[in-house]
Structure 1
Amino acid sequence: MLQSKIPATVITGFLGAGKTTIIRNMLMNAGGKKIALIINEFGDLGVDGDVLKGCGADNCTEDDIIELTNGCICCTVADDFIPTMQKLLERGTLPDHIVIETSGLALPQPLVNAFNWPDIRTRVTVDGVITVVDSAAVAAGRFADDHDKVATQRAEDDSLDHDSPIEELFEDQLTCADLIVLNKTDLLDAAGIAAVRADVTARVKRKPTMVEARNGEVPSMVLLGLGAGSEDDIDNRKSHHELEHQALHDSGEAHDHHHDHDEFESFVLKLGSIADPSAFVDRLVPVIEAHDILRLKGFIDVPGKPMRLVIQAVGSRIDTYFDRPWTSGEKRETRLVVIGLHDWDFAAVVGAVEKAV
C-alpha cells in the first residue's frame, strides 16, 4: 500500500493575532503526535521560534523547529520554503504532522500553491489553512479604513495605486482560510464578538468554519485533521493582487507579478537591562500610539531575575511573562523587533523607544 501523505497545517494571520500562542497550546495538547514546525518571521530577530523552543514539548524538540528569517515566506517560496521541505522529507524519522507559521505580513496563497511542487505534492498535503484573527483589533477598526478618504487620496496622488495594504492583506489571509479562529474574544462582550463575526463574514466570499478562542486556546482536534487538501482548491482563494493581475492580464495591460512588503518596515533594537519593566511598559504605550507601531515583541533582561521576560505588544495592548531561564551560552540583553508602516520617522521611533527605557 502507498504510504499516506503527511498532513501540513498552515497557520496565518496578521501581526499579533496570536498565532504563536495557538501553536504553543497545540503542541502541549497534540496527543503524542510528532510535529515539525516551520516558522517564518518578518525581521531578523526570531522571537516566535525562541518562544516555541522554550515550551518544552516532547513531541516537538528544538531539532524539529525550523526558522526562516530571510523575508516573508510568500516571497521566498522557491529559495527557502521548498528546499526546507525537501530536507525535512529526507530525514530518517518523518513527522506525523507539519505545522507552518507564516509571517504576519505574508500572503498564504503562494505557500499553499507550493504544495503542488512535484517533489512535495506526492508526499505532503495541506490539511488546512487556519487564519487567526485578533478580534479586539477588528473591533477597534484596525482593518476598516475609510474608503472614501482613500479614494480621494488616490484621485489626488497617482502613486497611490491600491487600497490600504493592511486591509487587503487581512482580507487575503481570510480568503485563503479553511478555518478562521476569532482569537482574544475575552477582550470583548457578546455584542462586540457578534460585530466582529459580521465584519469578518462580510469580507470573505468563501465561508470557512469560524470558531472563537480566548488566549489562543483551541483544541488540537479542531486544528488538526481538517483534511481540506487546500492545494487542490487554490484557484478559489485568489488574493487581491492575483485578482488585479488577472483583470489587467485579461485587458492586455502590463502588471508586476510580485507581491512585496514595501509598505512595511522593521528593525531590531538592542538595549541594556531594564530594572522596572512595568514602568517601561507604561512609557511604551504612548510611544506605540504616537508612531502607529503595528507590532513590538522580544525579550527583556531584568536584573536579578534568572528568567528572561517576553514582551508582546499589539497596538497599545502589551503583555509580558517570564518564559524560561537565560542559558549559560546566551547573552543577556533586551532585544526588541519593531514593525510599522514604511512612512514612519525611523530615527524618531528608535529615539522614542530608547527614551522609554
Structure 2
Amino acid sequence: MAKKIPATVITGFLGAGKTSLIRHMIENANGKKLAFLINEFGDLGIDREMLLGCGIEGCTEDDIVELANGCICCTVADDFLPAIEGILDREDKPDHILIETSGLALPKPLVKAFNWPEVRAQVTVDGVITVVDSKAVKEGRFADDEDAVQAQREADENLDHENPLEEVFEDQLLCADMVVLNKADLLDGDEIREIESELAKSLRDGVRFLHASNAAVDPAILLGLEAAAEDDLDARPSHHDHHHDDDDDHDHDHDDHNHDEFDSFTVHLNLVEDADALEEKLINVVKAHDVLRVKGFLLRPNADRREVIQGVGPRFNRYFDRAWKDGEAKRSQLVVIGRKGLDRAAIEQAITA
C-alpha cells in the first residue's frame, strides 16, 4: 500500500504568526515539495498573497490553494475536501501538505475530516501545530482566565451572549501536538515560564513548547511528528464537541462556534504618502474600537514594491515584499477584523481622513 502523504495543521489565534511560520518553512524546505492550503478570516486573501510575494523558489501559484468562502472547519464538504482532492489528483504530488486554518477556527472538526474515505486512504495528519502570540497572552488579550478579558467582555455592550474568544483559543491548545510560543523574544524568562505554566493546563500530556522569534522554527522539528491525529480524536477534547455529536453525516453547522460574533471588512485606500502616520491612525482605531487584527498592503510613492502592514492589537509591523505586477490594480487595502458590532463607518473615516 502506498505511503500516506503527511499533512500538518497549523492553527493559532489571529495574528499569532501562522503565515510567518509557513513562510519560514518554505524558505527552509531543503528540496521537500510542499503544498499549502490557506484559510483566513477576511476577504482580501492577504495570507496567500504574502506567501506568493515571498519570492522564494518553489513557492508557486499552483502550490498555494486558498479557501475564501468561510471557516474551513464549518465548510468541510463544500471547500476543504475538494481542495484536498485537487492537490491529491495532481501528477506531481507533494511530499507534505501544510494547512493554515483561520485564526478563529476550531482545529478538531478539520482533523476529523481526514477520516473521510476519499482523504483517509491517501493522507494522514502528521501533527497539529498551535502558534501562540506570547506577548498578547502576557497582556491578557487571549488568555481565558485573565481578568482583563472578562472585564472587557462585560464592558462591551455589543455582546449579549458569551464571547467564544477564549474557548476558541483553548480549543486550539487542546488539539495541539506541539505549541510554538511566538514572539518569545519580547518577554523575559520569568514571563515565558509563567505563560507555559498557565497554558499547560489546556494541553494534553506530552505536548511540548517551542520558543520562537518571528515564527522561525526549524521545519525538521515541526514535520515528521507522525501523530496520526485523525485516529486520536477522543484524546483531543473540545468545548464544542457537543455540537458535533450527531454529525455522522458530516453536516457541520456554521454557527457551531459563533463566527457570526465577529466582523471583518476591507478598507480601500490610494497612495499612502506617510505610512508612519497611517500606522498611528490604525493604533488609535484599535484603541477606540474592539479591533483584533489589521492586515493589508500599501501603495507607496516612488516604490516599485508593495508594503505589507499588519497589526495585532496596538502592535504593528511593516515590510516591503514583492514588486507590483504588470496590469495589477495598484492600491492600498486593509482588512479589519474584530468583534461583532464594529462601527465600520467610524473606523473607515478615521483611517481615510
Q: How does 1:117-132 map to 2 (within 5 A)?
A: 117-132=116-131
Residues 28, 172 of structure 1: CA spacing in aligned structure 2 closer, same or farther, 3 A cutoff?
same
Give the match's secondary structure for 1:199.
helix
Q: Is the 8 A contact 2:278 2:351 kept in 1?
A: no
Give the match's secondary structure for 2:272.
coil
Q: Is the 8 A contact 2:51 2:59 kept in 1?
A: no
Task: Say which is worse superposed, 263-272 or 235-244, in terms of deviation.
Answer: 235-244
Q: Deviations over 1:48-93 (max 9, x none)?
A: 1001011233333221110110011011111000011111111111
1:251 matched residue in structure 2: none
Task: Report the Cα distance in structure 1 between the residues aligned to 2:221 and 2:242, rounded to whole angstroms.
Answer: 31
Task: Report the Cα distance in structure 2 between the residues aligned to 1:49 and 1:58, rounded to whole angstroms.
Answer: 16
Residues 244, 44 of structure 1: CA spacing in aligned structure 2 closer, same or farther, 3 A cutoff?
closer
Task: Report the Cα distance in structure 2 between the residues aligned to 1:43 and 1:267, rounded to whole angstroms.
Answer: 7
Residues 8, 290 of structure 1: CA spacing in aligned structure 2 closer, same or farther, 3 A cutoff?
same
Task: Report the Cα distance in structure 2 between the residues aligned to 1:147 and 1:285, rounded to whole angstroms.
Answer: 19
Q: Is the 8 A contact 2:141 2:148 kept in 1?
A: no
Residues 125, 256 of structure 1: CA spacing in aligned structure 2 closer, same or farther, 3 A cutoff?
closer
1:190 matched residue in structure 2: 189
Q: Which residue, 304, 320, 323 being the options, matches 1:322?
A: 320
Q: How does 1:248-259 map to 2 (within 5 A)?
A: 258-259=256-257
Task: Report the Cα distance in structure 2 between the residues aligned to 1:29 and 1:333, rounded to whole angstroms.
Answer: 32
The answer to whether structure 1 residue 56 and structure 2 residue 55 are counterparts is yes
Q: Which residue, 284, 290, 296 being the options, matches 1:286?
A: 284
2:249 matched residue in structure 1: none
RMSD of aligned Cα (Å): 2.4
Aligned residues between the structures: 342
Task: Report the Cα distance in structure 2 between the residues aligned to 1:271 and 1:347, rounded to whole angstroms.
Answer: 14
1:95 matched residue in structure 2: 94
Unmatched 5+ residue regions in structure 2?
247-252
Amino acid of the residue matched to residue 350 of structure 1? E
Give the match's secondary structure for 1:75.
coil
Return structure 1 stretches of 4+ with deviation > 6 angstroms. none
Amino acid of the residue matched to residue 296 of structure 1? V
The answer to whether structure 1 residue 146 and structure 2 residue 147 are counterparts is yes
Task: Report the Cα distance in structure 1 between the residues aligned to 2:205 and 2:327, rounded to whole angstroms.
Answer: 49
Q: Is the 8 A contact 1:16 1:314 kept in 2?
A: yes
Q: Deviations over 1:300-330 (max 9, x none)?
A: 0001111100001000000000001111121
1:105 matched residue in structure 2: 104
Residue 7 of structure 1: CA displacement?
0.4
1:274 matched residue in structure 2: 272
Q: How does 1:140-289 map to 2 (within 5 A)?
A: 140-144=139-143, 145-146=146-147, 160=161, 162=162, 164-243=163-242, 258-289=256-287
2:300 matched residue in structure 1: 302
Task: Report the Cα distance in structure 2 between the residues aligned to 1:271 and 1:159, rounded to whole angstroms.
Answer: 34
TM-score (norm 2): 0.91
Q: Identical aligned pairs, as a percentage?
A: 54
Task: Report the Cα distance in structure 1 between the residues aligned to 2:74 and 2:49, rounded to whole angstroms.
Answer: 23
